[in-house]
Amino acid sequence: MKGVVLVGLLVVALAVATSAVRPGKPVVPAVFVLGDSTLDVGNNNHLPGKDVPRANVPFYGVDFPGGPMPTGRFSNGYNIADFIAKNLGFERSPLAYLVLKSRNYLIPSALTRGVSYASAGAGILDSTNAGNNIPLSKQLIYFASTKSEMEAAWGTHKVSTLLANSFFLLGFGSNDMFQTNPKTPADVAALYAVLVSNYSAAITDLYGMGARKFGIINVGPVGCVPGVRVLNATGACNDAMNRYAAGFAALVKSALADLAPKLPGFAYSLADSFAATQASFSNPQVLGFVSSDSACCGTGRLGAEGGTLCKRNDTLCADRDAYVFWDSVHSTQRAAELGAQGLFDGPAELTTPINFKQLAYKRY
């Protein structure tokens, strides 16, 4: 019955998405994005190292507007950061921090559109995929540096007002789930404590630097991505991984509720990725998908036997909009679009305590 209820929620989101917001006058002055590969729009393309995960080869970007061209997004087109930005009135996600730095355009963008610090492979812990991404701690450092340059260009008061009214989009935790393997309940509890403490401290740091509106995408059922399913002879989800992720997601929800009364003016919307994602797994056809367990771009069983990422010689599905997953971990453009619209303007059960739209329209 629970799966039926969740499908109903996403069906409502699908109906809303048919009249999705088009870029117009932005409802916030800027969007600042911190997170992992679900939000990355090109930072990792500018990181050195052979083991850095990059989406800079075909078939990434095969459906990107004006393409096909790989842009650093781990998608066939836009990712969820793009669609959230579109619903906020922007054309797409703000550009990647390292791209803006290379073009000497960081501050003009920060003052008018925002900046994306998101990096594929990043975690809450510095040790997660260490050396091959921009971890949360360093993304905070980059934002602090950006803020200082903004104040030098525009003045402290104006920047303070801009940041208070801007939308801060965060998405961390999945890579920490993938990379850690606690053996005992005590180990799990200890890891949860460190993850939640670090995440809460990071959010508090952003608040201290002027952020007030936080749209946070919680971790989802990481045990149901094709790259994990393929390890099971039956192709079923890894229930243990999902329980591990669900435990962390519940603690993040509790931590935010505890944090809110301690930070005057702090406002947040927490996205329930379990609710949104599990619905598409339960009955994908209702949402227009023919596949919710296989990668559109990949090789072998479930399109996930050739590794995590899509490669130029992989098999490509004919209808990308009919698949939930683009590669063995990341969603397709269509799945990202539906997910973003549900979080922005969908059923109340998908976000707490308010949705992304209500958060965006708060004024300071």
Among candidate residues 93, 119, 330, 331, the one labeled active-site is 330
- CA gap 176, 102 in Å, rounded: 29
- CA gap 55, 49 in Å, rounded: 14
What does the H/E/C string look like for 267-304?
Answer: EEEEECHHHHHHHHHHCHHHHCCCEEEEECEECCHHHC
- CA gap 282, 305 in Å, rounded: 23
> Would you give the DSSP letter of residue 139?
H
User: Cα–Cα distances in Å, from 50 out to 65, 74, 135, 152, 264?
Assistant: 29, 17, 17, 36, 44
Label residue 261 exposed, middle or buried (CB < 10 Å: 0-12, 13-18, 19+): exposed
Give catalytic status of residue 157 as yes or no.
no
- CA gap 146, 210 in Å, rounded: 12
Among candidate residues 63, 176, 272, 327, the one labeled active-site is 327
Among candidate residues 37, 109, 174, 269, the one labeled active-site is 37
Give catalytic status of residue 319 as yes or no.
no
- CA gap 303, 241 in Å, rounded: 20
Tell me if 263 sits within 8 A of 294, measured CB to CB. no
Give catalytic status of residue 327 as yes or no.
yes
**Active-site residue list:** 37, 327, 330
